[in-house]
Amino acid sequence: MAAKKARPGSAGRRAGPPAANAVLLQLAHPRALRHARRLRALARRFLEQLGLEGRELSLSLVGDRAIRRLNRTWRRIDRPTDVLSFPAGDPPRGAPRPWPLGDVVISLDTAARAAEERGCPVEDELARYLAHGLLHLLGDDHARPAEARRMAAREDALLGGAGMVRASLGSKA
């Protein structure tokens, strides 16, 4: 779910060797530490797959209470959700790298419930949320059928399997 929408410009590339991406983790859930290393590596892999260089992603693992508060504040929806994205927008010309990409906030409580319902490991559900949130940071959306098909294809490519949007498309895909 995107709280705000912005599409970063082509400022993610430059001549010479690729600039490293940074992933900043905020672990605000008692069980978050066990997922930190894998999520950071996955985020770096996704950024690379998307062709992004010299970017900084902020990733937070929170509980339902915290994500509900954010959802209520930014989307005026008073219930927990799975993932929220807050794009940073384009960096000013000449800004030093890494350039902020934005924040992805994931509810570990929601991921655990969804993983149990789907019969998959919570790590797989977290990967789906990360891919989804990251694509929202880049301006992807799923409000219209054509947008949803495009976003589903991009999630599927990142994950090597069906993402969140593909599941919501069902037989419409």
For residues 120 and 16, what is the distance between their CA atoms, to the nearest angstrom? 41
Tokens 């209470």 belong to which residue? 65
> Quick one: pLDDT at residue 97?
81
pLDDT per position as a tens digit, 150-167:
988 898 999 988 777 877
Q: What is the DSSP string of 101-145?
A: EEEEEEEHHHHHHHHHHHTS-HHHHHHHHHHHHHHHHTT---SSH
> Quick one: pLDDT at residue 165?
83
Give start and end residues of each alpha helix (H) in 15-172: 33-49, 64-75, 108-118, 122-137, 145-159, 164-169
> Quick one: pLDDT at residue 118?
92
| pLDDT tops 90 at residue 12 | no
What is the identity of the amino acid at 39?
L
pTM of the model: 0.85
For residues 45 and 129, what is the distance between their CA atoms, to the nearest angstrom? 15
> Quick one: pLDDT at residue 38?
95
| pLDDT tops 50 at residue 173 | no
- Average pLDDT over all residues of the chain: 87
Opening angle at CA 156, ends 154 and 162, nearest 5? 145
For residues 110 and 166, what is the distance between their CA atoms, to the nearest angstrom? 19
pLDDT per position as a tens digit, 56-107:
999 999 999 999 999 999 999 999 999 999 999 888 888 888 889 999 999 9
Contact 85, 139 (CB under 8 A): no
| pLDDT tops 70 at residue 16 | no
- Cα R_g (the chain), whole angstroms: 16
| pLDDT tops 90 at residue 5 | no
Sign of CA dihedral 84, 73, 115, 148: negative
Q: Where are the domains of the chain?
A: 10-140
> Quick one: pLDDT at residue 4?
44
> Quick one: pLDDT at residue 13?
47
Chain-centroid distance of CA 33 in Å reads 18
Q: Omega into 121 within 30° of 0, i.e. cis?
A: no
The CATH superfamily label for domain 10-140 reads: Metalloproteases ("zincins"), catalytic domain (3.40.390.30)
pLDDT per position as a tens digit, 22-38:
999 999 999 999 999 99
